[in-house]
Amino acid sequence: MTAQEGFAVDPWSVTEHRLDLAQLARSESVFALSNGHIGLRANLDEGEPHGLPGTYLNGVFELRPLPYPEGGYGYPESGQSVINVTNGKLIRLLVDDEPFDLRYGELHGHRRSLDFREGVLRREAEWTSPAGRTIRIRSSRLVSLTQRAIAAVDYEVEAVDGPVRIVLQSELVANEQLPNSDGDPRASAVLEAPLEAEAHHAHGTQGSLVHRTRFSQLRVAVGMDHVIEGPDGVSVTSESRHDQARINVTTVLQPGQRLRMVKFTGYGWSATRSVPAVRDQVEAAITAARYSGWDGLVAEQKAYLDEFWSSSDIEIDGDVELQQAVRFALFHVLQASARSEERAIPAKGLTGPGYDGHSFWDTETFVLPVLTYCLPGAVAQALRWRHSTLPLARERAAQLGLAGAVFPWRTIRGEECSGYWPAGTAAFHIGADIAVAAARYVRVTGDVDFERSYGLELLVETARMWRSLGHHDPTGRFRIEGVTGPDEYSAVADNNVFTNLMAQTNLRAAAEAVGRHQLEAAALGVDTEETAAWRDAAAAMFIPYDEKLGVHPQADGFTDHQLWDFEGTPQEKYPLLLHYPYFDLYRKQVVKQADLVLAMQLRGDAFSAEQKARNFAYYERLTVRDSSLSACTQAVIAAEVGQLDLAYDYTAEAALMDLHDLGGNTRDGLHMASLAGACIALVSGFGGLRDHGTVISFRPRLPAGLVRLAFSMRVRHHLLHVEITHERTDYTLREGDKLRIAHDDEELWVEVGAPVQRPTAVPEASERLPQPPGREPARRTSQAGPTTGSGVSSAEHLPAE
């Protein structure tokens, strides 16, 4: 099975029509279910065979040491790794004393499907045991978007060709044995037996386990209950021990008879509450789920998703595969964030242990912009989590000799977990990324209470950091030196354009917010002198420019560096970070991921149209896309400068990152930033959405391969629908009263019941820009398939330290 052949193309679902044991881990990520609190990898119900077992709770981690051959001041002392918590998915099946294991006997068919409108993973299988007994299995699994602590499984066994004795063992299992790491530095650190038993219980159809992590001291409780339907004479027994609780169900099925078990599983954790309190919370959640019943949970799930899709769908005509991919993307971004509730949104969501479960700047720069317009409540939750970590960020700033707050490059709870300081400590732009996300949220939603209670302090403390990190040189320019921008193939550079422009936005937004909330700002110790200093720094921000080449260097001196030898770099040496020393990458002109180009996307108001075109052409030939964060940004700017077919190719790469496993590491979890980025590529690229100021603007353009693009977005109390064809663009206000927007620089008022239509411009055709040899994106055709080009996009972020 190739990556492209793995899943059937359908606009509303992902379906796997046969089981490929070699691709199990990848499928477990693709079919993973989550609600932002609980994450279940799509392991088979019976537990084995598996690729990578995984059950995750957002915020539950274990500490691990960060060894340093040579110590240094300010190095983090320990890291944080997401752990595989108690597995409540397991329902083992014995058929006449033989375990149902797909590696043995004869598998006549196996199908799994996830419908994005239903949010339920459905599975069907028919199997003949080595002893010749045939059974059919049907199972459905969900993680509730409405009942935060609940996951449930509906499992049914049917006898086909003769009487058969069936035993179901529904289990909770802690400290599962995990496969050994393959040495990929992007994968999670494997932690053995991180849970210490505190309580266990089983009685009737119920069971529970309570554990505590050994070093981080987090208490985890998991409980289960069951509803069982079958022929007369079904036997039910229960048992428990430290790391296992089990409910045994036994019966004999005649041909055509079925045994059905509905399993309700509840999850909870706390750093402070007692064993009884956490256990009781879980048992109460299970009681509520049993009250709803399986059918009730499914109905709630569908109702939740109906509402989401009615206001957040992105519709595409002309490319069914891309339509499937973008809905897959939206669905998983929703799953990663819907019920995170003041916890981080990790780079992999809760679909796998990649990057140790850490949250990076990806969340604020790629995921939150999408959620701001479709699920703004999740954005407020994510930013409140950042706000809750401010005490740690202030401590880190003081440790580094800076004012304000320094947020971590990678973290779960708020402490810096990167032992590689050129990318970790020096990547100060994360502060501005958070501040800009907060300012965007307030601007789009009008949530003044959030700004007063949370956003203001985030803006103030990050502005203080920038003012202390940078300085005015003798000519009066404000410089920020010795920092690392988004491109991780450059480090500890002076005046990174992205960093400086984002810091400028941060400083201005902080000063403006202080003006709106003077009493609250005074309570934070802000005075007029400090806000004046922020405004002065923003006004004097130094943005390097290479007059000779007519482009912006990524940072001071970047365009003077030696060019990387792209012609002499074989394809098997990508991603470069796994085959070449960083010192060589740092001193050459080679770009891992969009940096200057990302600055043009997020701060397009700081560049002229001619500068954007020249900059994009210059950096296209240097960008190798060894990061999944790059293609979506290149898509946006390619569309803006008129390279529509190239933008189309990059959009597809971002959207298909996991469905086609382009990076070769989907097994470790999905790439949330790339999935969100695919949505950005469509809406901001071909839709031309820009939200730099108070008026949201659009500059629609469509590539030849797409017939129609439509999307909806929430702006304050309005719901705006935008529909783009090659001939015209329609703006329809579905909720609200009237909204001011801009179309190709023309300001318009859109009112409910009065759609506005404008022609869709067609940019002048230009010669396709080249990329580094062998790093061209796969070409798309109007029939929605890749044609030529490598389509390779590899690692994301840095290797695990």
Place of tokens 């099925």: 253
Closest Cα to residue 207, out of 165, 245, 244?
Answer: 245
Query: Residues 346-366: what's their mean pLDDT?
Result: 96
Give 292-300's long-range contacts (Cβ < 8 A, gap of 24+).
292/147, 293/227, 293/262, 294/152, 294/154, 294/227, 294/262, 297/142, 297/144, 297/146, 297/147, 297/150, 297/152, 298/118, 298/120, 298/140, 298/142, 300/144, 300/145, 300/146, 300/147
Which of 311, 343, 361 terminates a domain? The answer is 311
pLDDT in tens, 332-343: 999 999 999 889
User: Which CATH number is 134's domain given?
Assistant: 2.70.98.40
Side-by-side strand order, sheet with 718-725: 314-317, 708-715, 718-725, 728-735, 756-759
Assess whether pLDDT exceeds 80 at residue 186.
no
What tokens does 644 get? 């529509």
Assess whether pLDDT exceeds 60 at residue 789.
no
Q: Is residue 455 part of a domain?
A: yes
Q: Reduced to 3 DSSP states, what percent helix, strand and coil does the chain have, rounded to the nearest 5? A: 30, 25, 40
Is residue 150 helix, strand or coil? strand
Cβ–Cβ contacts within 10 Å for residue 296, how many? 14
| pLDDT computed for residue 77 by the predictor | 79
Q: Is residue 564 part of a domain?
A: no
Reported confidence tier of residue 181, pLDDT bands at 50, 70, 90: low
Q: Is residue 116 part of a domain?
A: yes
Distances (CA, A) of 13 to 9, 112, 329, 572, 747: 8, 10, 11, 34, 38
Q: Is residue 236 part of a domain?
A: yes
Cβ–Cβ contacts within 10 Å for residue 233, how many? 8
| pLDDT computed for residue 64 by the predictor | 86
Reported confidence tier of residue 5, pLDDT bands at 50, 70, 90: low
| pLDDT computed for residue 793 by the predictor | 38
Residues forming beta bridges with residue 296, ordered by sequence position: none
Q: Give percent above pLDDT 90 in the chain.
A: 90
Q: Is residue 716 part of a domain?
A: no
Q: Is residue 578 part of a domain?
A: no
Which of 290, 311, 332 terminates a domain? The answer is 311
Assess whether pLDDT exceeds 70 at residue 189.
no
How many Å apart are CA 19 and CA 6, to the nearest integer? 9
Q: CA geometry: angle at 233 spanning 229 and 235, to 5°?
A: 75
Task: Mark whether 292 and 423 lie in a shared domain.
Answer: no
How many Å apart are CA 749 and CA 149, to the nearest integer? 44
Closest Cα to residue 45, out of 240, 236, 261?
Answer: 261
Closest Cα to residue 210, out of 153, 265, 171, 267?
Answer: 267
Place of tokens 């702006």: 715
Is 502 in contact with 407 (CB distance < 8 Å)?
A: no
What tokens does 729 get? 């663009």
| pLDDT computed for residue 666 by the predictor | 96
Query: Residues 688-709: what's their mean pLDDT?
Result: 95
Task: Mark whether 107 and 256 lie in a shared domain.
Answer: yes
pLDDT in tens, 610-653: 999 999 999 999 999 999 999 999 999 999 999 999 999 999 99
Distances (CA, A) of 245 to 95, 205, 223, 239, 361: 21, 11, 9, 6, 39
Q: Is residue 430 part of a domain?
A: yes
Task: Mark whether 87 and 214 lie in a shared domain.
Answer: yes
65: cis peptide before it, omega within 30°? no
How many Å apart are CA 462 and CA 467, to the nearest integer? 9
Residue 232, domain extent: 83-311
How many Å apart are CA 265 and CA 342, to the nearest integer? 22
Q: Is residue 24 part of a domain?
A: no
Task: Mark whether 437 and 303 lie in a shared domain.
Answer: no
Query: Residues 51-73: what's their mean pLDDT?
Result: 88
- Range with the poorest average pLDDT among 241-250, 474-483, 790-799: 790-799
Q: Where are the alpha helices (DSSP H) in 489-574?
A: 497-516, 518-523, 528-539
Residues 6+ positions from 157 with CB-CB distance below 8 Å: 93, 135, 136, 137, 166, 168, 253, 258, 259, 260
Assess whether pLDDT exceeds 70 at residue 174.
yes
For the annotated catalytic residues, the residue numbers are 488
How many Å apart are CA 494 and CA 506, to the nearest integer? 19
Is 20 in contact with 6 (CB distance < 8 Å)?
A: yes
The amino acid at residue 678 is A
Summary count for the chain: helices (H), strands (E): 19, 32
Assess whether pLDDT exceeds 70 at residue 73.
yes
Domain count, the chain: 2
Is 157 in contact with 92 (CB distance < 8 Å)?
A: no
Query: Residues 461-465: what's their mean pLDDT?
Result: 98
| pLDDT computed for residue 4 by the predictor | 53
Task: Mark whether 92 and 235 lie in a shared domain.
Answer: yes
pLDDT in tens, 14-39: 999 999 999 999 999 999 999 999 99
pLDDT in tens, 709-739: 999 999 999 999 999 999 999 999 999 999 9
Which of 281, 311, 341 terminates a domain? The answer is 311
Is residue 795 helix, strand or coil? coil
Arithmetic mean of pLDDT over the chain: 94
pLDDT in tens, 526-561: 999 999 999 999 999 999 999 999 999 999 999 999
pTM value is 0.95
How many Å apart are CA 289 and CA 282, to the nearest integer? 11
